């Protein structure tokens, strides 16, 4: 709790004793208007705006701390908690960044990448990534195995060809990179700074319909997402909920057909990989593209 008090004091630019007094009053059931009006001498004169910010941030930071404890416990129970991971979890400043760190350890549905790992393809993925000069199809031959049948008689995962094995490599690497917390956070920050919120009218909707016409300003609209006013964002989301608008986050510059996007370039840069015409580079480019997708 002391750490939370210290952080709140720094954020609101008041003393720790003021924060501590306000927290005690809030925890005791007092409301913000009551504290602002009748307990100024206790809080050192905190006003309504400061108290509302303190109340909201207090709730957030407590939830963050509870989640931090749960994440640590979950990873520890899996036997995967390292000192570096413990430090990263302790330093995560937001719920989102904490969830990014936890993502690789989170129990989730069985993915294509997990299935490929179960069939022993991960060593091939690591090998081709470490040495892209290797011929992927030649290396994949050693990992081909007979097609399987499930207990109910239906076909199971099939890694009987080099093409299927290399699809497994793609699934393993793209899932691994998509769970890289540092990469995810850097892409999120970049998109928030430069991405566009774009909307258009759903095909087939009659723009002369009064209900549809209400959203005319958003039939062909885009704006940097970091600068979209709340009223426009709410209008776009309302139009999407009514199935009048399509809305999505898009890149600031769309790539030429067949060319990698800026986002894929950022992923490649993070990985320290670039296409140099080596035998496995086309496969690795596909892995990068799937990571972004």
pLDDT tens figures, 11-50: 999 999 999 999 999 999 999 999 999 999 999 999 999 9
Tell me the CA distances in angstroms from 262 to 65, 109, 157, 190, 256, one per residue in order: 35, 30, 34, 11, 11
**Percent of the chain, pLDDT > 90?**
85
User: What is the Cα gyration radius of the chain?
Assistant: 26
Q: 256: how many CB neighbours lie within 10 A of its CB? A: 8
pLDDT at 155: 83
Tell me the CA distances in angstroms from 60 to 12, 55, 63, one per residue in order: 14, 9, 5
How many Å apart are CA 261 and CA 253, to the nearest integer?
8
pTM: 0.72
**What is the average pLDDT across 216-228?**
93
Domain definitions of the chain by residue range: 2-105, 196-250
**Percent of the chain, pLDDT > 70?**
100
Least confident range of 77-81, 147-151, 262-266, 288-292: 147-151
> Residue 256: pLDDT band by 50, 70, 90 thresholds?
confident
Q: Which residues pair with residue 223 across a beta bridge?
A: 197
How many Å apart are CA 99 and CA 89, to the nearest integer?
9
Q: Is the pLDDT of residue 255 over 80?
A: no
Name the average pLDDT for the chain.
93
Q: Is the pLDDT of residue 55 over 90?
A: yes
Q: Which residues pair with residue 155 across a beta bridge?
A: 149
Phi, psi angle pair for 34, to nearest 5°: -65, -45
Residues 150-161: tens digit of each pLDDT: 777 788 889 999
Identify the H or E element spanning 234: helix 230-241
**What is the average pLDDT across 42-71?**
94
pLDDT at 259: 83
Identify the H or E element spanning 249: strand 245-250
- The CATH superfamily holding the domain 2-105 is RuvA domain 2-like (1.10.10.650)
Residues 95-141: tens digit of each pLDDT: 999 999 999 898 778 899 999 999 999 999 999 999 999 999 999 99
How many Å apart are CA 140 and CA 160, to the nearest integer?
10
pLDDT at 27: 94
Residues 243/202, Cβ–Cβ less than 8 Å: yes
**What is the average pLDDT across 268-282?**
96
pLDDT at 202: 94
């Amino acid at each position: 709790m002391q750490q939370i008090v210290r952080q709140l004091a720094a954020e609101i630019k008041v003393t720790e004793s003021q924060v501590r007094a306000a927290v005690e009053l809030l925890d005791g059931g007092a409301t913000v208007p009551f504290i602002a009006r009748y307990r100024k001498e206790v809080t050192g004169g905190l006003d309504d705006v400061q108290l509302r910010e303190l109340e909201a941030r207090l709730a957030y930071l407590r939830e963050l701390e509870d989640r931090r404890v749960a994440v640590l416990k979950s990873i520890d129970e899996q036997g995967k908690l390292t000192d570096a991971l413990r430090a990263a979890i302790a330093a995560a400043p937001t719920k989102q960044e904490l969830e990014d760190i936890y993502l690789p350890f989170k129990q989730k549905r069985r993915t294509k990448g997990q299935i490929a790992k179960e069939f022993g393809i991960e060593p091939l993925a690591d090998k081709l990534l470490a040495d892209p000069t290797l011929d992927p199809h030649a290396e994949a031959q050693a990992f081909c195995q007979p097609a399987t049948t499930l207990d109910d008689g239906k076909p199971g995962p099939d890694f009987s060809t080099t093409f299927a094995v290399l699809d497994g490599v793609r699934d393993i690497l793209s899932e691994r990179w998509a769970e890289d917390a540092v990469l995810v956070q850097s892409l999120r920050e970049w998109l928030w700074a430069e991405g566009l919120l774009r909307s258009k009218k759903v095909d087939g909707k009659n723009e002369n319909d009064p209900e549809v016409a209400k959203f005319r300003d958003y039939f062909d609209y885009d704006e940097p997402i970091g600068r979209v006013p709340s009223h426009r964002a709410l209008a776009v989301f309302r139009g999407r909920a009514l199935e009048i608008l399509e809305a999505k986050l898009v890149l600031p510059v769309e790539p030429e057909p067949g060319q990698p996007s800026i986002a894929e370039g950022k992923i490649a840069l993070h990985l320290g990989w670039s296409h140099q015409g080596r035998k496995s580079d086309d496969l690795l480019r596909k892995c990068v593209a799937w990571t972004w997708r």
